[in-house]
Structure 1
């Protein structure tokens, strides 16, 4: 019988100076994998996502999900009083992740060159809109700008329609995933060399990296892709088609699937049609092909089409809204959703991690922390004295919590971090 071991990154300590999405999402991946993530936030308000609704009591519902498994230390890094405490955290850290505007950490004297003098084993990872150098580096960069410049918005939506972005902040999220992947690679390299290194990941390049089909076309032919609605760039039929009660997605792209698709829908005449003889021919004649297919699918319900095609082994799926996704039978059977405990909210439903490791599974523990909940405990463990922590709290350079969970200080107005 296999003994379940601790998550794979247990023993790794991560400092996160993150706001909004990319750095917090990256740190969440590492926390799921067992790393101790210490989220360093400004005492006056913390991560701006804390002010983003909807709210559960006084807590942000998005925040307690994207910041699960983390500990909150509230320090004002612009305060000279807080600097020694933060550097003590750096001395003991394996990783630092930040997504402030390029140059912001250097101006605080906390750039990579500064911190590696204190901890040469530190893996220092920065996420930004455009990267740490280049002509765009100093511009503010949000997900939609990265989607725009990376080409994603040029191929999203329907031909002739207005600009559309991907429905989720895809550049933010994938930048976070690349950041987490790079961190794990750098930790592996540190096992060999003993030295940390610097990591630079941008939303812009994360978005541009998706252009696999578009690059294959452009670098081969010079052709620039455009929006295709739900249709695939290089295959047909591979898109959403009308049913009698909505739409259904189909993907009959291999010879076997194409034959089964035609047989199930009573379109066997297409098997002998030279305009549909192979994948390239079907792509060239896509408009006429889809019109023919929809003469049949529009007479059948989505459920009927899915049932018939599933039985024939042809890829297909209904288009689910998130109310259906979050109650999905398959995801529920695979135990994807779970409840994280929060000190004031109780159980908080979570999206599961897609990473399923057989021997060292991801952890399922706490929801995102209350601001400053761990300041005192973490700083004491880092070597600060109780008197030093009390001084930081009294000066407003730190936020600490009483035993009953109440803040010991009332810092001035919040300072919103900038990317």
Structure 2
């Protein structure tokens, strides 16, 4: 478990000196910028006067203080700006003039109406890396439709390939479309910054949730286009590898993953069924796939005889790829997760400890250093505006006119 308050001295992060103006909302954009902030980027979250709508999703920390919002908004500062007002837009433009990265998550038509589309922004700020995160892309038949995690999972094939055979399609519980979008946005932003370092000019980074989900299908796609046989949900199994699935034990579940022939042999030895290796029905993976209906019940009956801990001890000793199926509460006490330091503790001035997940990217010399806590909406408005040259009277005037809050 990593406590951000335990680090008294912080070295310069990999992205120290990079300024990010984050106009995105909900999950994909805010999580992307938090990850950048973990590595030292100065991230300024620009919220509308009412705050990011994600703040209202639940009341885990109080009204307008959702756990969801807390989970994706560390390592940044928050300002509230009415970018639809002339004075508010002028403030945003001053931020952009000194920024390296601008992140936005509006539908393209809305961005154009506000003059925040790439063409308008890049004309004034050509060195700016402009990252647009949308549901479906910058054009096409769905360009004006609202996009979100569930819709991307549904349209992009994730739900259609997940779940039990013949049952209702299943949503992946973690917001996989949003958070994959976060990582793709980070990757694109870093690539664009590298090109700017080389060529001296910014560019547009386009990420959409739908493409992210489709990009998860390479193995299923190639097989389908080669054979013409579409993949269908297999529950906890894999259609073209056997055994590569979850089995019920006497007290839970265990996953066995015989990806290559070597592991099929070690599995049979570990469970004391060497006869299965010699059985011609199960000699190769192709044989096992063809005779899945005969093999899987044999293994299922075997694993049902003992608890998960029994099988984990035996399988691990035999070098068989295996895992328990961790419930959420099990994940954070899993010995490897604990060892990897994937639990992060932030200290909030009102709520005390806020426990979340750590940054999963491990750099040797310039590691992630998550900092601060998820700020209140507009908590740093005065501080940030002062840094950008506004004096006390100017800030007071902007507040009085509703341009900033």
In structure 1, distance between residues paired with 2:312 and 2:261:
19
Partner of 2:138: 132
What whole-Å deviation, never above 9, does each CA across 1:107-129 have from its counterpart, x for those lacking one? 11122222222221100011111
Correspondence for 1:217 among 223, 226, 229:
223
1:51 aligns with 2:51: no
Correspondence for 1:262 among 245, 268, 273:
268
Q: Is the 8 A contact 1:65 1:367 kept in 2?
A: no
In structure 2, distance between residues paired with 1:266 and 1:398:
70
Partner of 1:412: none
Structure 1 unaligned spans of 5+? 400-419
- Determine helix, strand or coil for the equivalent of 2:87: coil
Structural mapping, 1:161-176, within 5 Å = 161-176=167-182
Deviates more, 1:341-350 or 1:67-76: 341-350
Report the CA distance between 1:151 and its aligned residue. 1.3
Structural mapping, 1:7-156, within 5 Å = 7-44=13-50, 46-58=51-63, 59-156=65-162
- Determine helix, strand or coil for the equivalent of 1:82: helix
Please identify runs of 4+ aligned residues in structure 1 that moved more than 4 A.
none
In structure 2, distance between residues paired with 1:103 and 1:297:
56
Partner of 2:232: 226
Deviates more, 1:58-67 or 1:142-151: 58-67
In structure 2, distance between residues paired with 1:339 and 1:165:
29
Structure 2 unaligned spans of 5+? 1-8
Correspondence for 1:197 among 176, 189, 203:
203
Q: Is the 8 A contact 2:10 2:369 kept in 1?
A: no
- Determine helix, strand or coil for the equivalent of 2:132: strand
- Determine helix, strand or coil for the equivalent of 2:103: strand
1:160 aligns with 2:151: no
Partner of 2:320: 314
Correspondence for 2:403 among 397, 406, 418:
397
In structure 2, distance between residues paired with 1:322 and 1:246:
14
Correspondence for 2:387 among 381, 403, 407:
381
In structure 1, distance between residues paired with 2:136 and 2:149:
11
Count of matched residue positions in the alignment of Structure 1 and Structure 2: 396
Deviates more, 1:167-176 or 1:4-13: 4-13
Q: Is the 8 A contact 1:4 1:359 kept in 2?
A: no
Name the TM-score, length of structure 2 as normaliser.
Answer: 0.94
What whole-Å deviation, never above 9, does each CA across 1:227-256 have from its counterpart, x for those lacking one? 000112321100001211222110123222
